[in-house]
Amino acid sequence: MSIAYFPNLYEDELIYSVLSRFYEHVAYLTLGDMKREIFTNEKECISKDFFKHLRSIFYKAIFNKIYKNRDINLLKKLNNSLIKSVFAQYKSDIYEKTSTETAYIDIILSDIARTFPKDSKFQKNGKNYKKLYNILTKYSNYNKDIGYAQGLNFMFANALLLYENEKDAFFYIDGIIKKFKLKKFFAEKNSKLIEEIRNFSKILEKYNPEIVNFFEKKYIYHEFFSTDWILTLFSNSMEPKNLFIC
């Protein structure tokens, strides 16, 4: 079986990356061929609807305080307050003055190449390629608590699709990171990330035990995809128009 050639994970590598390497290494004719081998039965391949269902559950794990308190007014106010939380910086010329020279340049360039590779706007000569490059390099210097981490590329890329203006996209995502205190997700030890993955496990076991049983039978670990959901705020698996809207 080709699964015997499944590659070893690189440090901090996301699951979509290792699956892509596996797909290319084995040279499957179609994505379906790879799915059938991994899941053993074509009819039991996980569908997009399956992941949409899980995502709705996972939102509750990440924003558990909001859902617990049922604070609808807070949800309505979040969208407007995000930009306001960094409005002083937005009005200043700090974005223009922040350098694009960064120690993270190699990984940023690699991640930009993996960001929506089929979208011409993010290809090397596309209108958003240089914008995303500017945003990621500047942000690595602007927010030194994070620097650069995988997942930020998709968050900022989706914001670019929504706002087009790179400064708007920059401070909108910065507002989200600060509002929800997301820098803990990108910390070196990933303690907050591990905590939220455990929250998701508990919610999944409580509300969808049949899914848990299915995963166990197929030796599937939800961390393969839930980690990606957290680190990209679902921006690698949802339409831009459905993101960051309260």
Tens of pLDDT, residue by residue over 84-113, are 556 677 778 899 999 999 999 999 999 999
> What pLDDT sits at residue 225?
81
From CA 10, how far away is CA 13, in angstroms rounded?
5
> What pLDDT sits at residue 198?
87
Residues 6+ apart with CB under 8 A from 93: none
> What pLDDT sits at residue 43?
52
Which amino acid belongs to residue 246? C
> What pLDDT sits at residue 13?
64
Of all residues in the chain, the percent with pLDDT exceeding 90 is: 24
> What pLDDT sits at residue 104?
96
> What pLDDT sits at residue 62?
46
User: Is pTM, for the whole model, over 0.75?
Assistant: no
pLDDT digits (tens, 9 = 90+) for 126-183: 999 999 999 999 999 999 999 999 889 999 998 898 888 999 899 888 988 888 888 8
pLDDT digits (tens, 9 = 90+) for 51-78: 555 555 555 544 444 444 444 454 445 4
> What pLDDT sits at residue 31?
65
pLDDT digits (tens, 9 = 90+) for 21-31: 766 666 666 66
Section 31-57 average pLDDT: 56
Mark out the alpha helices in the chain (DSSP H runs): 15-26, 31-39, 48-62, 64-69, 72-84, 87-91, 94-97, 105-113, 129-142, 152-163, 166-179, 191-207, 209-217, 223-232
From CA 36, how far away is CA 15, in angstroms rounded?
18
Tokens 């839930």 locate to 226
Is 39's pLDDT higher than 60?
no
Is 196's pLDDT higher than 80?
yes
From CA 27, how far away is CA 61, in angstroms rounded?
37
More confident residue, 49 or 207: 207
